[in-house]
Chains A and B, each alone.
Chain A
């Protein structure tokens, strides 16, 4: 297929065909990271800026490594080092960066729609690296990639997403993409963390973790979004861990070959027990590894020129 998009703002905008096309493209890039010389000249002469207004370890490093392995030049800007501390608006910062002629800007921002605002005014490709509680499209793509890699398919998998659904952009993006593939999705968490009307997206809601994970092929754990007031939705993290912490017992109730995912950063002993995080079902580090390939694919498709 022909890739036509300038920006990647959300996975809700993407058709199933586009998603599969990105995953297939990522497949061919995965091998590069296993070479002795982990670099190809595909994006030589291109510039990628990561503009992060919220903390990030995985996503920013992953984008930077992805860009570098394709030979693009990368520049990282985080809010503490940017002019936002001097009162410059996001639009002005972005326009100034645009004047230096980058090819892509990866933005993470605490407010939903910030990437959309930039996409409307800049010629550079805008990649949403997470906007508030809204979307985190490359996370959903790497999650799909990992599911397909581990289970051989996406369609037909029963996926339980557990945790602070209301404030999680990872949950939203995954719900949008999985419903696009027709999957059965069960959202589980305390009712205070389940947003109203979520059933209209075609997901099931289950407050009891044991019921939610029953026969699940994929269990996706989320952390409590402390920076979005997540802790005020529960009496204590201790109680949360008691009710919604994933343990070995839950793994035994799920499908025999269940995989456990987590977008990170994970809080061991709260939403996930040590022996599950490090156990045979865990694919958490595979997700991180696949993230590089998926982001290479996204960068390539958006700024790599003619396929």
Chain B
């Protein structure tokens, strides 16, 4: 079936388009984009996007779908449905499932499952090391053949620098990006950012340097072996400073941050709200300001969700015992749009960090709208005000510190491969 998205303002950062265009999708590909597509056959579905923005579907380079092994937290089906509602058409799921995605068979399971039940495109990220143990390399090549698009030991750093070096070198064969979770675990025994809030709450702190030391280390290793490295969920001012400086002489370093790091500070932990427990922890106001500046000046390339759904009971305990993570698919885009409303980024700049830039990192053709490109797109209202309600989440994970917050901007329509997977129009 053909679908015509009519009358919207099309913004495609990759192709430098911003204007009133109609988009015609024919099955999984874009058939045409032009100022006015008037004549269509009677079987074409027409979607009225007037007054709204049409953009390439969002791409998330960092999420957790929990399947296999933790289906009580999320499944590929519920996770992709939540992602689609939030405007994401392609998502990269991390390897910390059970079993860990460190072999061809687990990758194949995820890929098959996503084909069967997934609502949006799921691209698995393989583990750098077997069992995420940091001891020996996973079978990266076989996982690549099965469909992984990146490797990461997300949840922790590869503790041994020598092993990360080997991973960066080895991944070159497949041009696989290495995604680094930056955390020195000899410094990060705590549960919240080490700062004034932790002083007041008595909660054990994680200093900013636990992240920054590994940011510096991983860039040094990548530079030495001349391999690209992507630093994920960057949260501190010091990390931004290190990345900014490194970029001047080494272009192969990229990074992302998540909406919670530019929306909340460690103050949110003062009430012991376990929904505000996340790793890396919510940082200080100074860090949040630096994250915003990093987004503005381009040091931060990508906005990722780090969607980390958890069952209620794992959050309904003492702060120290609670799981870490925020269910982010259904709030990320609205929170990101606040950057536009605040004037930190213009709309094209924001969309670039959620479409073209992640596509470039992953080496995929989505993330842009042109004739022949995948028909992955969204239609959203940048000004629609709504109140976040965790009970209305499609995700199984209701764990959000943003419940009851009023936000501005909402995704209303999501198309994946020419199929409408979410529609509030």
Query: A117-B272, A196-B195, A197-B195 are contacts. A134–B317 as well, Cβ < 8 Å?
Result: no
Inside 8 A of B194's CB, which chain A residues have their CB? 196
Is B202's CB under 8 angstroms from A133's CB?
A: yes
Instruction: Give A111-142 as 1s and 0s: 1 = Cβ < 8 Å from B's Cβ atoms.
Output: 11110110000000000000111110000000
List, sorted by A's number, 14 A–B pairs whose CB atoms are closer than 8 Å: A89-B313, A90-B318, A112-B203, A113-B201, A113-B272, A113-B318, A113-B319, A132-B202, A133-B202, A172-B202, A196-B194, A196-B207, A198-B199, A201-B199
Total A-B residue contacts, Cβ distance less than 8 Å: 57
Q: Is B105 an interface residue (CB 8 A)?
A: no
Residue of A nearest to B194 (CB): A196
Is B199's CB under 8 angstroms from A197's CB?
A: yes
Is A197's CB under 8 angstroms from B320's CB?
A: no
Inside 8 A of A112's CB, which chain B residues have their CB? 201-203, 272, 319-320
Q: Which of A12, A117, A169 contacts B318 (CB 8 A)?
A: A117
Q: Is B387 an interface residue (CB 8 A)?
A: no
Query: A117-B272, A197-B196, A200-B196 are contacts. A90–B317 as well, Cβ < 8 Å?
Result: yes
A116–B204 Cα distance when bound, in Å, is 17
Inside 8 A of A113's CB, which chain B residues have their CB? 201-203, 272, 318-319
Q: Which of B195, B207, B272 contacts A116 (CB 8 A)?
A: B272
Inside 8 A of A91's CB, which chain B residues have their CB? 316-317
Instruction: Give A156-177 as 1s and 0s: 1 = Cβ < 8 Å from B's Cβ atoms.
Output: 0000000000000100100000
A111–B320 Cα distance when bound, in Å, is 6
A226–B319 Cα distance when bound, in Å, is 21
Tell me, rounded to whole Å, the shortest Cβ–Cβ distance linking B203 to chain A. 5
Near B by CB (< 8 A), chain A positions 165-197 give 169, 172, 195-197
Is B199's CB under 8 angstroms from A195's CB?
A: yes
A14–B316 Cα distance when bound, in Å, is 27
Q: Is A109 an interface residue (CB 8 A)?
A: yes
A90–B234 Cα distance when bound, in Å, is 34
Residue of A nearest to B198 (CB): A195
Tell me, rounded to whole Å, the shortest Cβ–Cβ distance linking B202 to chain A. 3
Residue of B nearest to A109 (CB): B318
A300–B320 Cα distance when bound, in Å, is 32
Q: Which of A89, A116, A133 contacts B317 (CB 8 A)?
A: A89
Tell me, rounded to whole Å, the shortest Cβ–Cβ distance linking A139 to chain B. 14
Instruction: Give A77-113 as 1s and 0s: 1 = Cβ < 8 Å from B's Cβ atoms.
Output: 0000000000001110000000000000000010111
Instruction: Give B309-321 as 1s and 0s: 1 = Cβ < 8 Å from A's Cβ atoms.
Output: 0000100111111
Residue of A nearest to B271 (CB): A116
Interface residues on B, range: 20 to 34
Is B202's CB under 8 angstroms from A131's CB?
A: yes
Tell me, rounded to whole Å, the shortest Cβ–Cβ distance linking B313 to chain A. 8
Instruction: Give B198-220 as 1s and 0s: 1 = Cβ < 8 Å from A's Cβ atoms.
Output: 11111111010000000000000
Inside 8 A of B313's CB, which chain A residues have their CB? 89
| New contact pairs (14) apart from A113-B318, A196-B207, CB-CB < 8 Å | A89-B313, A90-B317, A91-B317, A111-B320, A113-B202, A113-B272, A114-B318, A117-B272, A117-B318, A132-B203, A133-B204, A134-B201, A135-B202, A172-B202
Inside 8 A of A116's CB, which chain B residues have their CB? 271-272
A200–B320 Cα distance when bound, in Å, is 25
Instruction: Name the residue among B201, B316, B321 with the largest chain A CB count within 10 angstroms.
Output: B201
Residues of B within 8 A of A (CB): 194-196, 198-205, 207, 271-272, 313, 316-321
Q: Which of B199, B202, B271, B317 contacts A169 (CB 8 A)?
A: B202
Tell me, rounded to whole Å, the shortest Cβ–Cβ distance linking B132 to chain A. 26
Inside 8 A of A135's CB, which chain B residues have their CB? 202
Residue of B nearest to A114 (CB): B318
Query: A112-B272, A116-B271 are contacts. A12–B200 as well, Cβ < 8 Å?
Result: yes
A135–B202 Cα distance when bound, in Å, is 8
A200–B272 Cα distance when bound, in Å, is 21
Tell me, rounded to whole Å, the shortest Cβ–Cβ distance linking B204 to chain A. 7
Inside 8 A of B318's CB, which chain A residues have their CB? 90, 109, 111, 113-114, 117
Residue of A nearest to B189 (CB): A229
Inside 8 A of A132's CB, which chain B residues have their CB? 202-203, 320
Inside 8 A of B203's CB, which chain A residues have their CB? 112-113, 132, 134
Tell me, rounded to whole Å, the shortest Cβ–Cβ distance linking A84 to chain B. 11
Residue of B nearest to A228 (CB): B204
Inside 8 A of B200's CB, which chain A residues have their CB? 12
Inside 8 A of B202's CB, which chain A residues have their CB? 112-113, 131-135, 169, 172
Inside 8 A of B204's CB, which chain A residues have their CB? 133
A127–B316 Cα distance when bound, in Å, is 20
A118–B273 Cα distance when bound, in Å, is 13
A195–B193 Cα distance when bound, in Å, is 13
A198–B196 Cα distance when bound, in Å, is 8
Inside 8 A of B201's CB, which chain A residues have their CB? 112-113, 134
Inside 8 A of B272's CB, which chain A residues have their CB? 112-113, 116-117
Inside 8 A of B316's CB, which chain A residues have their CB? 89, 91
Instruction: Name the residue among A91, A112, A131, A135 with the largest chain B CB count within 10 angstroms.
Output: A112
Inside 8 A of A134's CB, which chain B residues have their CB? 201-203
Inside 8 A of A109's CB, which chain B residues have their CB? 318
Is B199's CB under 8 angstroms from A111's CB?
A: no
A169–B201 Cα distance when bound, in Å, is 10
A197–B272 Cα distance when bound, in Å, is 20
Inside 8 A of B271's CB, which chain A residues have their CB? 116
Tell me, rounded to whole Å, the shortest Cβ–Cβ distance linking B186 to chain A. 12
Inside 8 A of B195's CB, which chain A residues have their CB? 196-197
Near B by CB (< 8 A), chain A positions 192-211 give 195-198, 200-201
Inside 8 A of A133's CB, which chain B residues have their CB? 202, 204
Query: A113-B272, A116-B272, A133-B204 are contacts. A200–B199 as well, Cβ < 8 Å?
Result: yes
Inside 8 A of A117's CB, which chain B residues have their CB? 272, 318
Tell me, rounded to whole Å, the shortest Cβ–Cβ distance linking B281 to chain A. 14
The 10 closest A-B pairs by CB, nearest first: A134-B202, A113-B272, A112-B202, A111-B318, A111-B320, A133-B202, A113-B319, A112-B203, A197-B196, A114-B318
Tell me, rounded to whole Å, the shortest Cβ–Cβ distance linking B323 to chain A. 14
Residue of B nearest to A113 (CB): B272
Tell me, rounded to whole Å, the shortest Cβ–Cβ distance linking A36 to chain B. 42
Is B321's CB under 8 angstroms from A111's CB?
A: yes
A172–B317 Cα distance when bound, in Å, is 24
A201–B198 Cα distance when bound, in Å, is 12
A196–B205 Cα distance when bound, in Å, is 10
